């Protein structure tokens, strides 16, 4: 059974090669947060678009364990994405009110993903998140 990280790396990369243990050993990735290209999967993190700590503060603290695991490993909703480790670490558990992808051309996709995940899991959106998401959605027509 593949772990979620390996599934996401295989999904998001090109020419991805995995070894007999299903570990990613080769491929090419483009980090959508900052537009940087990578050939070493160790330079990538699999980001939770809605960070788990943010989800916890937004209502996941009331969930059962299976629902929390579903969010953490969701391959259906746009919750998991391969990004540069540097961009993921700068984001941490911040919401859109405090952090936006450095690559402005990704703001539309990012804000839509955030809204879709929060809506699917019925998580709260704070006023600063709502304002930041609105600003990012304004880039969708550009």
Which long-range contacts (C-beta less than 8 Å, at least 24 apart) are formed by 33-38?
33/83, 33/84, 33/87, 33/88, 33/91, 33/101, 33/102, 33/103, 33/106, 33/110, 34/83, 34/84, 34/86, 34/87, 34/101, 34/102, 34/103, 35/102, 35/103, 35/105, 35/106, 36/84, 36/87, 38/84
Percentage helix, strand, coil, to 5, in the chain? 50, 15, 35
- For the segment 64-90, the average pLDDT, to the nearest whole number, is 96
- 1, pLDDT greater than 50: no
- For the chain, give every domain's residue range: 4-141
**Is this structure's pTM higher than 0.85?**
yes
pLDDT tens digit sequence for 96-133? 999 999 999 999 999 999 999 999 999 999 999 999 99
3-state secondary structure of 34: coil
Q: How many CA atoms lie within 13 A of 71 on its CB side?
A: 27
Closest to 32 measured CA to CA, from 42, 47, 53: 47
- Give me the pLDDT at residue 142, please: 66
- For the segment 61-81, the average pLDDT, to the nearest whole number, is 96
């Amino acid at each position: 059974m593949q772990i979620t990280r390996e599934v996401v790396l295989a999904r998001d990369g090109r020419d991805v090669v995995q070894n007999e243990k299903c570990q990613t050993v080769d491929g090419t990735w483009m980090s959508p947060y900052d537009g940087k290209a990578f050939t070493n999967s160790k330079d990538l993190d699999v980001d939770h678009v809605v960070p788990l700590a943010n989800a916890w503060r937004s209502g996941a603290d009331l969930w059962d364990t299976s629902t929390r695991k579903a969010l953490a490993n969701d391959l259906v909703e746009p919750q998991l994405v391969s990004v540069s480790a540097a961009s993921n670490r700068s984001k941490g558990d911040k919401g859109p009110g405090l952090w936006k992808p450095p690559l402005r051309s990704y703001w539309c996709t990012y804000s839509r993903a955030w809204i879709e995940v929060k809506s699917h899991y019925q998580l709260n959106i704070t006023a600063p998140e709502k304002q930041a998401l609105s600003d990012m959605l304004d880039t969708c027509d550009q």
